[in-house]
Amino acid sequence: MNRIGQEFLSKILDEHGPALVLYARQWCDTPEDVVQEAFVSLLRQPREVDNLVGWLYRVVRNGAINASRKASRRFRHERSAARQGEPWFECRNGQKMDAEMLVEVMEDLPIEQRETLVARLWGGLSWEEVARLTDTSSSTAHRRFQTALAVLRERFPDT
């Protein structure tokens, strides 16, 4: 059985946890739960996982999509109220409006562009890892990323 040390697990969680939560938030309203389940699943793996970060993103993606489907089936009529949940970004004092505007722009992006942007920009995944995660080619992932960045640059020209 795979024995993951507490220090290693803590390091991975500190380094990738916030980006994984942001990534999961695209699909579901319980991203922290999904990330926690991914780490529990990691601990249950019988042997060492190849490409640990990519594996975590895949497990979080699948878990978040499943959580979204379950919530949709149970609470279809409450879906619009659920979107008013936690903000995607933590904002510093005086930057609340910018964070809210960024959330609005991100929500307007197609899910394919949004997930690619978050995985690459906040998650730090390589183009190959993003491509594997989204079941596309590296060039498609790069094109989605560039398109999403163009939208952000258009809406936030001074940044």
How does pLDDT run across 71-122, given as a tens digit for each residue? 877 765 554 444 555 655 555 555 444 667 788 888 889 999 999 999 998 8
Can you tell me the distance from the alpha carbon of 144 to that of 29, in angstroms, rounded to the nearest whole number?
A: 24
Query: Structure tokens of 108?
Result: 């307007």
Which domains does the chain show, CATH number per domain? 1-85 (no CATH), 87-159 (1.10.10.10)
For residue 42, give the nearest of 55, 25, 28, 23 by alpha carbon. 55
Q: Looking at the predicted structure, is the pLDDT value of residue 35 above 50? A: yes
Fill in the DSSP letter of residue 49: P
Higher pLDDT, 155 or 19: 19
Task: Compute the average pLDDT of residues 16-40.
Answer: 95
The string of DSSP codes covering 74-142 is: H-GGGHHHHTTSS-SS---TT-HHHHHHHHHHHHHS-HHHHHHHIIIIIT---HHHHHHHHTS-HHHHH
Contact at 8 Å (CB) between 105 and 97? no
pLDDT value of position 136: 95
For all residues of the chain together, what is the average pLDDT?
85
Can you tell me the distance from the alpha carbon of 117 to that of 85, in angstroms, rounded to the nearest whole number?
A: 21
Task: Compute the average pLDDT of residues 16-44.
Answer: 95
pLDDT value of position 101: 79
Record the pTM: 0.65
State the Cα torsion 30-115-22-9 to the nearest 10°: 90
For residue 24, give the nearest of 53, 67, 74, 75 by alpha carbon. 67
Lowest average pLDDT, out of 32-41, 94-103, 127-136, goes to: 94-103
How many CB atoms sit inside 10 A of residue 116's CB? 29
CA distances from 45 to 1, 33, 60, 101, 111 (A): 7, 19, 15, 40, 30
Query: Structure tokens of 4?
Result: 């993951």
pLDDT value of position 96: 46
